[in-house]
Amino acid sequence: MPTKKILITGGAGYIGSHMAAHVARAGFTPVIFDDFSTGHRAACGNFDCVTGSLHNSDLLKEVFAQHSFAAVMHFASFIQVGESVIDPAKYYYNNVAGTLTLLRAMLAGGVNYFIFSSSAAVYGEPDYAPIDESHRIAPINPYGHSKWIIEQALQDYAASYAFKYCALRYFNAAGADAEQGLGECHDPETHLIPLILQAATGQRAAITVFGNDYPTEDGTCVRDYIHVKDLCNAHWLALQALWHGAPSNSYNLGTGVGYSVQQVIEIARNVTKAMIPIVLGKRRAGDPAVLVADPSRAMAELNWTPEYIDLTTIVADAWKFCRNKETV
């Protein structure tokens, strides 16, 4: 490994900013590449930061010429499922075309290790739970399609070039590293835990529960919440595995433990000591009743063990970030 620099695209975003901090703690130098369409400059800290678009091939060429990177970690994508249905062109242009431009620049720059931020959305409506990597791939929205298209491209790149990758399929990323001033801060916010915490602080009047008649214990959807710190650790272990000769592969990242929407709300009430009013809404199209990961492949092959399985800890960390943000 000739260098200790890592290029982190989307490094001003939620997971990318946590990854940059993790890389730095590991003794490597993160270089952030972000267009700041959704990211936050404050999340970059004092790290070297390049402002630009993945579609700017000349800028990418310049970045790869200026730096010798050991790997690229790619987080620069749009992530709102509903928006992807309304405006698929936005998602194919950014998540697919932008990533392919990045991969072309990597190959030209001689950088052969790639960690890809994928999604459980590639599975679509699950046939069973927990979901393992042998589950059929059948995305049901443009966001999921965009992730799967890139995974297929990566398979072809690995077969044809001196190129290795890990595609990490997230379930529900959550939590924060409040001590580092990092946490979830989307605009608009679409993720359940920060929405609940906004209801706890009074930023929104109530939290909407979309359906309470699912075939689950309390009738609300069940999801697998993984702490962002555990996600970052999995990314780092995946990259180390590639450096040590492991084959390219795709991995589920979750805890294997599911919590219903109602359970998440009750945990947040206990953590925040707030009432958190609920409004019952209709089911949303494409919301499976249960989405829980089988993370055993990542645990066995990457020697990864999620540390923050207890959702109370995840919510408490997110709440700490939320409260710190209010006092700034």
Residue 294 carries which DSSP code?
A: -
Q: Angle, nearest 10°, between helix axes 261-272 and 192-201?
A: 40
- Selected catalytic residue, list 14, 91, 143, 308: 143
- Tokens 């450096």 locate to 243
Pick from 305, 23, 306: nearest CA to 180: 23
Omega within 30 of 0 (cis) for the link into 188: yes
Instruction: Give the Cα separation of 19 and 7 in Å (integer).
Output: 11
* Strand ranges (E), 212-312: 222-227, 249-253, 258-260, 278-281, 290-291
91 is annotated as an active-site residue = no
Pick from 128, 102, 97: nearest CA to 114: 102
Lookup: tokens for 219: 């009738």
With vertex at residue 168, the alpha carbon angle to CA 291 and CA 38, rounded to the nearest 5 degrees, is: 90
Please report the DSSP string for 90-127 in residue order: HHIIIIIIIHHHHHHHHHHHT--EEEEEEEGGGG-S-S
Instruction: Give the Cα separation of 69 and 72 in Å (integer).
Output: 7
Q: What per-residue string of b and e applies to 10-38 under the rule 16 or more CB within 10 Å gives b?
A: bbbbbbbbbbbbbbbeeebbbbbbbbeeb
Active site residues: 143
